[in-house]
């Protein structure tokens, strides 16, 4: 398995897609019930394959990821060949940017010495999807990239 199996809740949400997945393998509903009952290891493999296919589809569309912690932000732009990072560190431990008050403070003070902004670009070491998935496992969220784009424009100036 390349990624991780979808949760039961996710599988329930994707039930129509799973039915189509089984149909592409010529597995009917009755056959699926028999497989689950008599060959649970085969059923597990099918769930793993389906989960990987779903993850591949989702990760292929991911253009931006954000990992926002109380005193740090890691903003990623996922390009075709490389990934760009804008890393932001707040040097005041009393500020928590995950709160409205902390983020308001940050918006007013991001260009002061209390905030450090670094950038980096790296080529993918592995498959793009795997690298994106690892960031998600570490707490990154898929976003539309508004924060990354905003900072990218500021940094360019």
Query: For residues 125 and 56, what is the distance between their CA atoms, to the nearest angstrom?
Result: 17
Does residue 12 carry a pLDDT above 80? Answer: yes
pLDDT of residue 154: 84
Query: Phi and psi of 23, rounded to 5°?
Result: -65, -35
Query: What integer is the mean pLDDT of 9-23?
Result: 95
Average pLDDT, the chain: 94
CB neighbours of residue 103 within 10 Å: 15
Digit-coded pLDDT (tens) for 65-94? 999 999 999 999 999 999 999 999 999 999
Digit-coded pLDDT (tens) for 128-137? 999 999 999 9
pLDDT of residue 155: 83
- 71-77: long-range contacts (C-beta < 8 A, 24 or more apart)? 71/95, 71/96, 71/97, 73/97, 73/147, 74/140, 75/147, 75/148, 75/151, 76/135, 76/140, 76/148, 77/145, 77/148, 77/152
Query: For residues 50 and 21, what is the distance between their CA atoms, to the nearest angstrom?
Result: 7
Chain CA centroid to CA 149, Å: 17
Query: For residues 72 and 89, what is the distance between their CA atoms, to the nearest angstrom?
Result: 5
SS3 59: helix
Provide the pLDDT confidence category of residue 99 given band limits of 50, 70 and 90.
Answer: very high
Q: For a pLDDT cut of 90, what percent of the chain falls above it?
A: 90
pLDDT of residue 157: 65
Annotated domain spans of the chain: 8-61, 64-156
pLDDT of residue 156: 78
Digit-coded pLDDT (tens) for 111-149? 899 999 999 999 998 899 999 999 999 999 999 999 999
pTM: 0.87
Q: What is the DSSP letter of 5?
A: P
Query: Phi and psi of 24, rounded to 5°?
Result: -65, -20
């Amino acid at each position: 398995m390349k990624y991780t199996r979808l949760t039961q809740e996710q599988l329930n949400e994707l039930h129509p897609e799973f039915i189509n997945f089984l149909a592409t393998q010529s597995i009917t509903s009755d056959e699926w019930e028999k497989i689950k009952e008599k060959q649970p290891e085969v059923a597990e493999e099918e769930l793993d394959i389906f989960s990987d296919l779903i993850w591949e589809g989702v990760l292929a569309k991911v253009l931006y990821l954000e990992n926002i912690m109380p005193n740090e932000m890691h903003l990623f732009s996922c390009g075709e060949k490389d990934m760009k990072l804008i890393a932001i560190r707040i040097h005041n431990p009393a500020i928590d940017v995950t709160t409205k008050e902390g983020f308001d403070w940050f918006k007013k003070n991001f260009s002061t010495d209390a905030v450090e902004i670094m950038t980096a670009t790296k080529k993918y070491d592995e498959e793009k999807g795997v690298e994106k998935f690892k960031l998600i496992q570490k707490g990154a969220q898929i976003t539309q990239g508004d924060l990354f784009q905003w900072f990218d424009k500021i940094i360019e100036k």
